[in-house]
Structures are given as structure tokens and as C-alpha cells.
Amino acid sequence: MSSRVVICGAGFLGSNIAKGLAIGVPGSATSHRIQISSRRPEKIHASLVPIIGEKHLLPPVAADITKPETLGPAFSEADVVVSLVGIMSGTPADYERIQWRGAENVAKAAKDAGAKLIHISAIGADPNSSIPYARTKALGEAAVFEANPEATIIRPSLVFGPGDGFFLRFANLSKYLPFLPVFGGGTSRFQPVFAGDIARLVEIISRRDSDVMKMTDGKIIEAGGPDIMTYRDIMKIVLYYTKRRRPIISLPFFVGKTQGFFLEKLPENLFTVTRDQVEQLKSDNVVNPCPPENHASFEDVIRKYSSSPLKSVHDILPTYIGP
């Protein structure tokens, strides 16, 4: 059986999901044809051609999540829509327009098209947060379920893999900085999850098998990998695999906020940090050990429908960061 999957938005994680859908997971009887849709989808589409081949790719279709009238044509023949609605920096109005109302627009359009919606959110989504990113992620989730109750929401922790924006960034920073900074002692905890494992989860949900649907439809899935580590631990791992010796120095949170005040006003670059990103480091970013009833277990889904375990950072990091 062939399934038409529209990836709405792309970038690092979307590209990995496209690869996972094309390659598939052992045991799946479904083949997937993938359409990239965003405001300018051609570049991502072209980058995927040599990796997954033309036979798995449909022509890209431009769409703007802030303009609902563009989504209907993009989703018209979709069986599954994977929504990667999100930004990492911007004004509060930007976050509301994209992560809240944009997510709602995608959910409504997917529902109207009769397509299964898989919405990518984030661990830490909180409607009461003072941080626009976390607050609008939660408001977006609520809007998604209101418009499309059968949707599945995936909340990843820190996503890693070749081309990521975190481990690779600090590996590059370690070339230039005399030390690696952490804030507030670097005690906040993360549960890094491999992009390929998120792709596996999306592929499984995309099968539309009745047992999978019962397990995942209308559910939130918090996705973390097998390793829980502090921010300081992550810096140690980066230095270990890049074979560099740098002191790890803890800076007070107010220093990070001051840096962010100035750096967030400049064009984004290797050294960019925002005040909100520093504020988020005050909280852990790990899977809830006692999830509510409307949650499904990431590990359980992967264990039941895939033959290999979740990947550790130690399995993957040596393949893309190094001296």
C-alpha cells in the first residue's frame, strides 16, 4: 500500500523524517511518497533527491501556514500530514502567529483533507510559561486537538544527529572559544533523542494500522533517548568526541541574559543566544516519568513496531563531530 505524506516545514528534523519515511522500518508494508511543503520548499526537495531518490519524492508544493487558503491545495491528496510548525527566535507576536495560529491552521486543513496529522511540539510546552516559545507550543497543541482530535502530538527532547543545531554547534564553537560556557552550574537535565528515532516513530504512526491507531491517535508522545545527562555532561561529551581540551566554566544566568539581550538583535550566527533560550536552561528537558492518561510511551511504540532499540548519543555523535 502506498501512502502520500506531506511534510509541512522541513529543515533538519523534517529532512530526517523524510529519509525515515522513504527508507521505512522493517515490518512495514507501507511505502511512502513524500511531498515537501513550505513557503520555499524547492531547496529542501532538491537536497533530498540524491539521498532518497526521485521515486519517493512528489513535486514540492508551496504553502504558508499563516495563510490557510494555501494549505488546502497543498494537502488535497495527503494521507498523512507531518507538521513541523515552529521557530526558535522571534517576537511574541511571531510565536503566536506561527506556533499557535499556524499550528491551528495546519490542523484544520489536515482535518478537511481527511489526512492523519502528526504534529511536532516540544517537551516543556506549558500554557502558563513566561517564555513565548514554550507557551505558544502548548497553545498550539491545544488548538491542534481542538481542530483535529485524532492527531498525534510528538514532544521531543533535544534532537541530535548529523546537521543538528546543538551538538554540532558546540563542536564548532569549541574550535574558537577558549572555554565552553554553561549557565547556572549546567545542572539542567536533557534526554537527547536521535532524529532517526523520531523519524521511525513518525513512520510507524503513518502506517495507519488499526493497532497503531489505537495506541497513538489522540495521544501525546514525549520522546527522549536512552541517555539522561546534564548540560555540563553534554559539554564534556562534545569535548571528548572532538578530542579538544577546554575548561567548562559556569556563568550566572544573568550573564547569559545580558549576552542574549545584545546577541538576539543581531543576524543569527554561530554565537547567537537569546534570553528565552537562557531562561529555558533553568528547567529540565526530560520525559515525564508519570505521564497523564492521554500520553503514549515512545519506548513502547518503538519496541513493539521496530526491531532495533533507541540510539544513544554515544552511538551517533562520533559519526559527525570530531577533531
Per-residue pLDDT of 145-176, as tens digits, reads: 999 999 999 999 999 999 898 999 899 989 98
Q: How confident is the model at residue 211 (pLDDT cuts 50, 70, 90)?
A: very high
Tell me: the pLDDT tens digits for 40-88? 999 999 999 998 888 889 999 999 999 999 999 999 999 999 999 888 8
Query: In this predicted structure, what is the pLDDT of residue 102?
Result: 97
Q: Judge contact between 33 and 9, C-beta under 8 A.
A: no
CATH architecture of structural domain 2-159+193-224+287-310: 3-Layer(aba) Sandwich (3.40)
Q: What is the 3-state secondary structure (H, E, C) of the chain?
A: CEEEEEEECCHHHHHHHHHHHHHCCCCCCCEEEEEEECCCCHHHHHHHHHHHCHHHECCCCCCCCCCHHHHHHHHCCCCEEEECCCCCCCCHHHHHHHHHHHHHHHHHHHHHHCCEEEEECCCCCCCCCCCHHHHHHHHHHHHHHHHCCCCEEEEECCEECCCCCCHHHHHHHHHHCCCEEEEHHHCCEECCEEHHHHHHHHHHHHCCCHHHHHHHCCCEEEECCCCCEEHHHHHHHHHHHHCCCCCEEEECHHHHHHHHHHHCCCCCCCCCCCHHHHHHCCCCECCCCCCCCCEEEHHHHHHHHCCCCCCCHHHHHHHCCCC
Q: Where are the domains of the chain?
A: 2-159+193-224+287-310
Mean pLDDT of 175-200: 93
Query: Whole-prediction pTM value?
Result: 0.93
Q: How confident is the model at residue 208 (pLDDT cuts 50, 70, 90)?
A: confident
